Chains A and B, each alone.
Chain A
Amino acid sequence: MFEFVVRRLLWLIPVIFVVSIITFVLMHSIPGGPFDAEKALPQAIIDNLNAKYHLDDPLWKQYVDYMWGFVRFDLGPSIAYRSRTVNDILAQQWPVTAMLGLASFAIAVFGGIPLGIISAVKQNSLADYTSMGISMLGLSIPNMALGPLLIWVFALNLKWFPVATWGSPIHVVLPAITLGTAYMASFARLTRASMLQVVREDYIQTARAKGVRHTTVMLKHALRNALIPVSTIAGPSFAGIMTGSMIVERIFAIPGIGKYYVTSVGNRDYPVIMATTLVFAIAVVLMNMLVDVSYGILDPRIRYN
């Protein structure tokens, strides 16, 4: 297993290389630059700005310089936020996103998986229809509708929670529900479907034939195996949820990293585009690695060599 993890970590190097090259080439090939504005600047001013941010160097040199900084954890200055470095932005904004992400993921996992189990165990019962109904709703309501709806009901009318902004545990509740609901719904449906598939397997029939109680069969024998597809989805979902949601952060005025994924492209803030993309790529690789490790725990038949 140790060897497996090391091997997967080494894979990060080519992944970062490929992702960084593609991102770098793409962002420099879209028209417009960081200093284009409605009020066109004189060329001399643009030249000064390009010189300040070394954008007048040949592209290959800009790339090499960036990557040399990257390996030393120096992600460069933000062009749009003059007094802040990209390191500052990640250090100040990412923890907020991570906290929201953890809370949302907890809702998704601890809400979604039990809902799926109940549905599977009581297939075609009222409980099944109810929890699948909830899941269907959760999947179909987009964040940009659910967020304002929760604000209207629970903040504006019932006054249980603040309308928006960040700062205390109570501020986390509504955005975490908004962000976590869709994930919860898809986890619930996936858990139910794979549980129902697993219960038809021979080893479950064997367990039943031996007289093991229904609940024990379901929770001990079926669930573990049924969680394999769930964890396959959960890994990339976790990477996504931990790198922020532009929409939820915007609706609730949360100082997270999500908006930088979008605004950095609009601003042509090259160092921020590179950093946010690479962080996401690394998160996806690490999460997929965790997923693969979890397979071995969930299903003893899986080996790592």
Chain B
Amino acid sequence: MKKVWLLGLILTLLIGVLAVGQVKTLYWNLGTEPPSLDPNTATDTTSIQVLQALFVGLTDFDDATMAVVPELAMHWEASEDGLTWTFYLRDDVYWTDGTPVTAQQVEYSVKRTLNPATGSSYAFVLWMIDGAEAYNTGEVESADGVGVKALGDYRVRFTLNQSAGYFPAIAGMWVCRPLPITVVEEYGDAWTNAENIVTNGAYKLGEWVHEDHMILYKSETFYDADKTNIHVVYCYMIEEASTAMTMYEAGDLDADENPPLEDMDRIKADPVLSAELHTAPDLCTYYYGFNNEKAPFDNPLVRKAFASAIDRQSLIDYILKGGQKPAQTFVCPGIFGYIDGVAEGIGYPYDPEVAKQFLADAGYPNGEGFPEVTLMHNTSEGHSKIAQFIGQSFMDTLNVTVNIVNQEWKVYLATCREDAPQIYRMGWCADYPDANNWVNEVFNSESGSNYANYNSPDFDALVEQAARESDPAVRLDLYRQAETLMCDTDAGIVPIYFYTMVKLTKPYVVRTYAALGGEHWEQWDILPH
């Protein structure tokens, strides 16, 4: 009897070990609690990382090429005039409750995003859809006029009010992802709670202990489940970068997406850590804006003088240390419409003599009679270091007095919106990889993010024409002209550097790097270790 009991125990243990051996678990740090798992209302990178795993989009991005690739939609076509887009959906995609994913759910999601009562911050990216703006802004009560229509179960048609060559990228965004209609209707805002949520992506939500962890399990109903290698993604929510770094070094995390700046020198010097370090371009640009309406920065010569007085390479080498790239134009590499300003001579490289000459031409030889300048940034140690460096550079080169001021983030945003200081710090990151998301959406004279009050009818005409144009070569040239106008001729802003992402990953993790956010865990693997 005793032997049987012992044999049973050994067998159980053996099966247990074998079973555990087959389960591949990725230990990940989300960095914080995801604020929303509702694709219609999420706006932040943390939520979008989880949404990417839980919900499929009509389209997706290829991490290597950043091209738009099929996902839920197998293929799509646009009408001659570029106003009507039809997406053909796969018929083998299922929700975790076993029901099929259909075109009606795409239509429902788009209309729910646009419903004013939903309160979706990103609804405006869909305003290019016919009737969307009128419905979203409450001009019309009914969603019937919105140009999205399910044609049967597996075909959905969008009608746009302007031709937009980048629409397939928009159609893949989370605000368009199909939703489980009955679940959303039944539970309201609580439909994303772990006990209610129904998903259709490569992973499903197993457990969500707020502020602590989230466990995602491989979804067996996912159409490509055979190719999903990692069975469990265990997501921590560690906010403190040094704690995450310590856990990575202790082996509790398989990747650290945000190693602390102060550890960079140590990481680079350490033979093990430096081999696990990956540096790649990130789709963001750091820039200083001039308030083009505020004297003396209403004079382009003054703006050019300040733009020429920034030593970007020294800033990167001695302050930032992350291998960033100097920027003389606004759109960053990796985005369609990127122009290499440094190579093409667009914008202003560091040149103290040229800077002094510009200031003299503006009527302030050697800075004489130049009023005190306010350079403002939002409160943060990193921004402060950059501002000290650049402010000092202005003072040394141009012989002017620069007052560096910082404000708490939302106070700062309100200041910039209402009456931006003479020089202000800001950054921009891609929502979709097209220059329209940059030059047009940020610096069109109508844009709410145009704190520089940059107002050039020629520039507006160029970026609006580029948005409508479909020929890539023509579009690229239009963006070249627009960048030249904004960053060179008018010097409305001064781009400083293109971001890099610095990540640590254990050698046994086979991974991709998603420049646009939303890592594709379903394409990763974990090797025996």
Contact = CB atoms under 8 A, between A and B. Distances in A.
Contacts of A48: 116-120, 123, 136-138
Contacts of B256: none
Interface stretch (A9-17, A36-44, A295-303): A36-44
Given A31-B411, A48-B116, A93-B211, A250 B246 contact: no
A266 B212 contact: no
B410 A33 contact: yes
A297 B410 CA distance: 50
Contact of A32 (B118, B193, B212, B411): B411
A31 B415 contact: yes
A255 B212 contact: yes
Contacts of B448: 40-43
Contacts of B138: 44, 47-48
A45 to B, nearest CB: 5
B449 interface: yes
A81 B36 contact: yes
Given A48-B116, A83-B193, A253 B239 contact: yes
Interface centre among B35, B124, B410, B449 (most CB of A within 10 A): B410
Contact of A164 (B192, B193, B243, B249): B243
B38 interface: yes
Nearest to A267: B410
Nearest to B450: A40
B413 A37 contact: yes
A294 interface: no
B117 A253 contact: no
A83 B243 contact: no
A52 interface: yes
A19 B426 CA distance: 36
Contacts of A166: 212
B60 interface: no
Given A53-B119, A84-B210, A45 B124 contact: yes
Interface string A62-92: 0000000000000001001111100011001
Contacts of A284: none
B146 to A, nearest CB: 15
A75 to B, nearest CB: 15
Interface centre among A31, A40, A77, A82 (most CB of B within 10 A): A82
A151 B246 CA distance: 9
A259 interface: yes
Contact of B413 (A32, A52, A152, A250): A32
Interface string B388-432: 000000000000000000001111111101000000001110010
A156 interface: yes
Contacts of B136: 44-45, 48
A147 to B, nearest CB: 9
A268 interface: yes
Interface residues of A, number: 52
Contacts of B497: none
A37 B250 CA distance: 36
A253 B121 contact: no
A126 B119 CA distance: 67
Nearest to A167: B212
Contacts of A167: 212
B67 interface: no
A203 B16 CA distance: 70
A268 B411 CA distance: 10
A43 to B, nearest CB: 8
Nearest to A36: B413
B447 interface: yes
B261 interface: no
B410 A31 contact: yes
B189 interface: yes
Contact of B449 (A39, A77, A83, A88): A39
Contacts of A83: 36-38, 189-193
Interface string A201-216: 0000000000000000
Interface in B234-252: 236-240, 242-243, 246-247, 249-250, 252
Contact of A41 (B33, B121, B250): B121
A187 to B, nearest CB: 28
A268 to B, nearest CB: 6
A151 B116 contact: no
Given A39-B449, A82-B35, A165-B238, A32 B414 contact: yes
Contacts of B36: 81-83
A251 interface: yes
A38 B427 contact: yes
Nearest to A260: B211
Contacts of B242: 148, 251
B408 A266 contact: yes
A45 B411 contact: no
B414 A82 contact: no
A22 interface: no
Nearest to A247: B240
A49 B414 CA distance: 17
Contacts of B14: none
B246 A80 contact: no
Interface string A148-160: 1001100110000
B45 interface: no
A256 B237 CA distance: 12
Interface in A254-289: 255-256, 259, 266, 268
A208 B408 CA distance: 61
A183 interface: no
Interface in A89-106: 89, 92-93, 96
Given A166-B212, A255-B212, A82 B189 contact: yes
A238 interface: no
B461 interface: no
Nearest to B209: A255
Given A31-B411, A42-B124, A48-B123, 20 more contacts: A37-B43, A37-B413, A40-B447, A43-B448, A45-B124, A47-B138, A48-B117, A48-B120, A82-B36, A82-B41, A83-B38, A83-B192, A92-B210, A93-B210, A163-B243, A163-B252, A250-B239, A251-B240, A253-B237, A256-B211
Closest 10 CB pairs of A and B: A32-B410, A255-B211, A40-B448, A52-B119, A82-B36, A31-B414, A255-B212, A44-B137, A253-B238, A36-B413
19 contacts: A32-B412, A32-B413, A32-B414, A44-B133, A44-B137, A45-B124, A45-B136, A48-B136, A80-B35, A81-B33, A82-B41, A152-B246, A163-B246, A163-B252, A165-B247, A251-B242, A253-B236, A253-B239, A255-B210
Interface of B: 33, 35-38, 41-43, 116-121, 123-124, 133, 136-138, 189-193, 209-213, 236-240, 242-243, 246-247, 249-250, 252, 408-415, 417, 426-428, 431, 447-449
Interface of A: 30-33, 35-45, 47-49, 51-53, 77, 80-84, 88-89, 92-93, 96, 148, 151-152, 155-156, 162-167, 250-253, 255-256, 259, 266, 268
